[in-house]
Amino acid sequence: MTINETQDEIIEEFEGLTDWMDRYAYIIDLGNTLPDFPEADKTPENLIEGCQSRVWIAAQREAGDKIKFEADSDALIVKGIVALLMRVLNDRTPDEILGSDLYFIEKIGLKEHLSPTRSNGLVAMVKQIHNYAKAYKMLDSK
């Protein structure tokens, strides 16, 4: 499934949830689907700067040039937002990540329903994922 197909699937799932309390509950449930994040990876290097709550994202290169991300947060709603990002961007190549337009964030109304600090945190998470993709792409060009 492509990044855009995954985003479209998420948009479709959210269209069935018209009330924002239901959407928040769904986002929290998605956070519970994240695999366990190793305590050893909860390091300052993996901590995302600019987030109100603590968010960790770690990356490693997998076969086929894909990047495997692991992520966690100490806040339920943020953990769900991270789970959405992981669903869209995990196991992708650097080019796929860097060439993606994450339109699902606006289409599901998430951007307008986040506090300014949570919105800044979302931007910081996406930026860090892009930074990992850029770093792996640079390694490829050497």
**Cα–Cα dist 131/125, whole Å:** 10
* Phi, psi (deg, nearest 5) at residue 38: -60, 135
CB atoms within 10 A of CB 120: 14
> Half-sphere exposure of residue 61, counting CA atoms within 13 Å on the CB side?
12
Q: Is 22 a catalytic residue?
A: no
> Dihedral angle at the C-alpha atoms of 10, 137, 73, 105, nearest 10 degrees?
-30
Residue tagged active-site, from 10, 30, 48, 51: 51
Catalytic residues: 51
